[in-house]
């Protein structure tokens, strides 16, 4: 069971791995559910489109059908619950589209959102850009930096306070040389590093 940060508006984003046409989403809520939420679908280029919105979600299992939109990244955005100051709970996030069923583990693996996660960039190897996803269990200050094989910092992708949830950032390597690079996430006393390869 995943719980968002308490009180404020919250969002969870998933990378579908490729551009698909989304036609159905199933949300399996926990005890505290979103009544006012939106589904926002965005492309690799960052163009976003709201494909669903409601002010009357009834909890339990919300099966949302009749959707239409093409994209790779799907965000569930829940507005602040005005009646109680409690975190939202989400057990499962399933996405259906023309490529079949896309899900991570049991829907989205919401258990992973209770810890810090730095995912492998995609695509990898890449030319010349790639996307890095990371997950935060709580609001906090985040740095995400890229280093060359000699340990020299080549760019800073994130240097700001971020909200809890899943985030994506694009690394454009068009100004850098071919080869291996390391990207390092630091937040909440946690430091994680992964390697990526650029081949032009």
Q: Which tens digit of pLDDT belongs to each residue from 145-165? A: 999 988 889 999 999 998 887
**189 or 193, greater pLDDT:** 193
**114 or 141, greater pLDDT:** 141
Find the mean pLDDT for residues 28-45. 85
Instruction: For 88-138, write each residue's pLDDT tens digit.
Output: 788 888 888 775 444 433 344 444 445 688 888 989 999 999 999 888 878
Burial 69-106, CB ≥16 within 10 A → b, else e: bebbbbbbbbeebeeeeebbbbbbbbbbbeeeebbbee
Instruction: Quickly count: other Cβ atoms within 10 Å of residue 59's Cβ.
Output: 14
Instruction: Enumerate residues 6+ apart whose C-beta is below 8 A from 130.
Output: 121, 122, 123, 124, 170, 171, 173, 196, 198
Q: Which two tokens stand for residue 7?
A: 């009180």
Percentage of residues in the chain having pLDDT higher than 90: 26
This prediction's pTM:
0.50
Integer Cα distance of 108 and 25 in angstroms: 12
Find the mean pLDDT for residues 67-74. 86
Please provide residue 111's backbone torsions phi and psi, each rounded to the nearest 5 degrees. Answer: -65, -35
Q: Which two tokens stand for residue 190?
A: 């946690």
Find the mean pLDDT for residues 57-84. 80
């Amino acid at each position: 069971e995943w719980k968002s940060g308490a009180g404020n508006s919250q969002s969870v984003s998933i990378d579908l791995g490729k551009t698909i046409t989304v036609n159905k989403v199933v949300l399996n809520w926990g005890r505290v559910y979103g009544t006012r939420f939106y589904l926002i679908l965005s492309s690799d280029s960052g163009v976003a489109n709201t494909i669903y919105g409601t002010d009357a979600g009834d909890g339990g299992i919300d099966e949302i059908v009749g959707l239409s939109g093409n994209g790779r990244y799907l965000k569930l955005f829940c507005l602040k619950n005005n009646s109680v100051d409690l975190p939202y709970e989400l057990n499962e996030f399933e996405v259906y589209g023309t490529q079949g069923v896309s899900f991570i583990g049991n829907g989205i693996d919401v258990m992973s959102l209770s810890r810090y996660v730095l995912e492998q960039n995609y695509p990898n190897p890449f030319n010349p850009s790639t996307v890095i996803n990371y997950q935060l269990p709580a609001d906090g200050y985040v740095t995400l930096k890229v280093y060359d094989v000699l340990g020299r910092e080549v760019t800073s992708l994130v240097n700001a306070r971020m909200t809890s949830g899943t985030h994506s950032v694009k690394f454009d390597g068009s100004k850098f040389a071919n080869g291996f690079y390391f990207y390092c996430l630091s937040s909440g006393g946690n430091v994680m590093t992964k390697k990526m390869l650029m081949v032009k």
